[in-house]
Structure 1
């Protein structure tokens, strides 16, 4: 059978763009891609990139204070949100154009419209055109979820935070995951009075307990009011703001309510339900280790599969798909030992097993050090960092590394290489420290804090 194209990708985010580019430029395939919104997807347009730029912006007030402690005579005249937002939007435009140019240079045909699947080899564009294709890749990502409570229309999500006309004076962040915790820190750093409500016992569920407790304590010490065991019953519009009625009996007024209570796979209304594609309980597309669905010609990568919802993972999944299907290089992406970073203040970097997960598997040793770092100690701050290694008693391999410190994301990337290679605690011990640095603690901890 003759097809109009070899591959049709639905979704112009990181995973879809990588798959399309590799399939076209290196696999020699005829490729089309449809994106109904902006090229670049969640990460570039409404996620990682604008968020990280806001993280940078929010860190400057403490830098100014520290500069004065170090002898510089400087002062802050306040944060100019409209000026920052204008620069941010210009940068996102630049990145979007770069993504578009990358695809075009690879020979990919772009359709700036919505696409749905008619049958295993046909897609329909919102323009009414139909296109036949040998393979279909779904890379539509995820979307913020807001629970169905009275007044939910008064809340915004992380998609909206970058487009505010002005910053609020009082903000409520609902949720306890990394997105909620990051935006609580960002808003606080930009001068907003912030409260964070989370229905669980401690924020950052799923991460190492000691590490997330360290982050929570640091956030509270900076002035963020974290209320665990608390959820919102309803939101009400008032003359001066938004009233949040909570499960703990409190009623507080805010200028802005940001919901960051999770994301759901963007898998509905694509026409897949009637074709035999299988879905999980949260709407995720079920795929095998090759990212192939129950329909052989249809594949899916990225957040829409709800495996590990991180941009670099979507990119690797998309690349592995293109290698397998179009380059003749069968490739399965290994979802084990994926490093991650949470850009709170301080940051949390993590790779491998948490202490809790590791001790459920085998006897372990825990090496940890918490201390005041030199830079902020000199400035009179009470900041503390945490360095932690989880070690197998039997094999001596380092099973996990967790760092809470400024630039922890940079540290954990390098630690992840050693752990991926199977480094033992003795390998760390034989490595000479770089002094004076924060990271030297990773190679100078000789005695375990505890054995379990």
Structure 2
């Protein structure tokens, strides 16, 4: 008789944990349990990728009526109704959570709606008081957004809060310059919100290709996002009547009411606004909401890891080897809690590699090289491989780049520009990086990512016949390098 209740106990019901659990149970015939204290589906399904992408779709309709008129249609502008959208969004998230639960049940995984901690290398304790022995433990607890360490930061929202707003605010300050900040700045602007964005750095989307960053920054500003670079919050608090200027008594009385609501709600950790903000440039302004997108932290707290000798990094990430194994041989970790590449498909791949290694006798290191990704700004940004700046540090390169107004929006009279870019190694001729800024860039980069992952050369791209007339044909028609070095 086995000394263990389970072959595998998974802590965390997000995409990575669920995939590992059901594959281990369904394909490797392991006895598996999974504990999740919140909603099944994790960040991606419940409070990240899925609801965000649905909000992206909703926000893009705001420009379509004008475009349609420019194409000859008689069509009037409409009004976005947050309540109706939110109701349908919640129903879709409920459906997807049900799918995740069903996948686990159909695979024979025992599910526990409880918080789990680790007592020893083989024992898991649940918040219900139950304890279980497992031969292997997999931590897949993900991460969470954090607020900056400034006074009254609790008055601001984080990304988890956006989907639960009772009403859509009229005026929002977005703080941050990463992909989450930029995506939500574009989303909220598209839904009719007046958006101001502060970022303390010199340019948004740090770490991505410089040319692409610049084009997206210009496009966001041109569309109406009030982007302030080199700017951060110095002070924030609930606004008072004294903060309002002018003779607009309506605004003042509204400010009084909203201030009273904010004070009451702030005691519960939420503010209904308005919020007075002072910036590093000296500007002061009142916003209905302040949205912080200034970083995330791995969910490694209160799991009992330090007592077990599991190493944690500076941000609390669980340190693992190339097989996702911790310093304790029976305990593994995957996904955002390891802070390697924080993308849902990566967590799923890490979960699959874990099952191959531990349950199928096929040691499989995780491959984090040449991962395509997309940033759902407006316009979208798709990228795979090295940026021009990173590639230059590795040796001589050629850059093939073109920026132009695409036919669809040019005909409609919009100034939007797109970017198609290849970074090529001079010696091997391999395409080291591909960067696309354009509508549908996320769809395009998935296909380009296959070629780059396979080691395609510039000449392989050149031999591919263009699909005409499309934006993406420029990827295979650029013959002369824009610059070398």
TM-score by length of 1: 0.99
Aligned to 2:478: 445
Tell me how far apart the structure 2 counterparts of residues 327 and 99 of structure 1 sit (CA, whole Å). 23
Pairs aligned (count): 452
Separation (CA, whole Å) in 2 of partners of 1:225 and 1:217: 11
2:431 alignment partner, one of 398, 403, 407? 398
2:73 matches 1:72? yes
Partner of 1:378: 411
Whether the 8 Å CA contact 1:22–1:323 is kept in 2: the answer is no
Instruction: Give the match for residue 19 of structure 2.
Output: 18
**Are residue 248 (structure 1) and residue 249 (structure 2) matched?**
no
Per-residue deviation, residues 140-188 of structure 1 (Å, max 9, x unmatched)? 0001011121111110100010110111110000000000000000000
Deviations 1:202-248 (A, max 9, x none): 00000000001110000000000111111112211014210111111
1:331 to 343, 346, 364: 364
Name the residue aligned to 1:319.
352
Partner of 1:138: 139
Q: CA deviation at 1:76?
A: 2.5
Deviations 1:381-413 (A, max 9, x none): 111000000000001000000000000000000
**Superposed counterparts of 1:84-95, under 5 Å:** 84-95=85-96
Quote the offset at 1:332 in angstroms.
1.4
Task: Report the Cα distance in structure 1 between the residues aligned to 2:29 and 2:75, rounded to whole angstroms.
Answer: 57
> Are the aligned partners of 1:146 and 1:259 in contact in 2 as well (CA < 8 Å)?
yes
Cα distance in 2 between the residues matched to 1:307 and 1:277: 16
**Partner Cα separation in structure 2 for residue 433 and residue 119 of structure 1:** 59
Alignment root-mean-square deviation, CA: 0.7
Find the partner of 1:388 among 394, 413, 421: 421
Taking the aligned partners of 2:98 and 2:65, their CA distance within structure 1 comes to 35
For 1:293, the equivalent position in structure 2 comes to 326
CA contact (8 A) 1:152 1:234 kept: no
Alignment partner of 1:282 is 2:283: no
Structure 1 moving runs of 4+ over 2 Å: none
Find the aligned partners of 1:392 and 1:259 in 2 and give their Cα distance.
39
What displacement does 1:366 show?
Answer: 0.3
Question: Gaps (5+ residues) in structure 1?
Answer: none
Other structure's SS at 1:88 match = helix
Contact 1:244/1:251 (8 A) holds in 2: yes
Shift of 1:42: 0.2
Report the equivalent of 1:115: 116
Q: 2:383 aligns with which of 337, 345, 350?
A: 350
* TM-score, normalised with respect to structure 2: 0.93
The DSSP-based 3-state class of the residue aligned with 2:307 is coil
Q: Secondary structure at the match of 2:167?
A: coil
Q: In 2, are the aligned partners of 1:398 and 1:419 still within 8 Å (CA)?
A: yes
In 2: Cα distance, 1:77 partner to 1:384 partner: 26
Distance 2:162 2:481 in 1: 43
* Superposed displacement of residue 77, structure 1: 2.2
Match of 2:451 in 1: 418
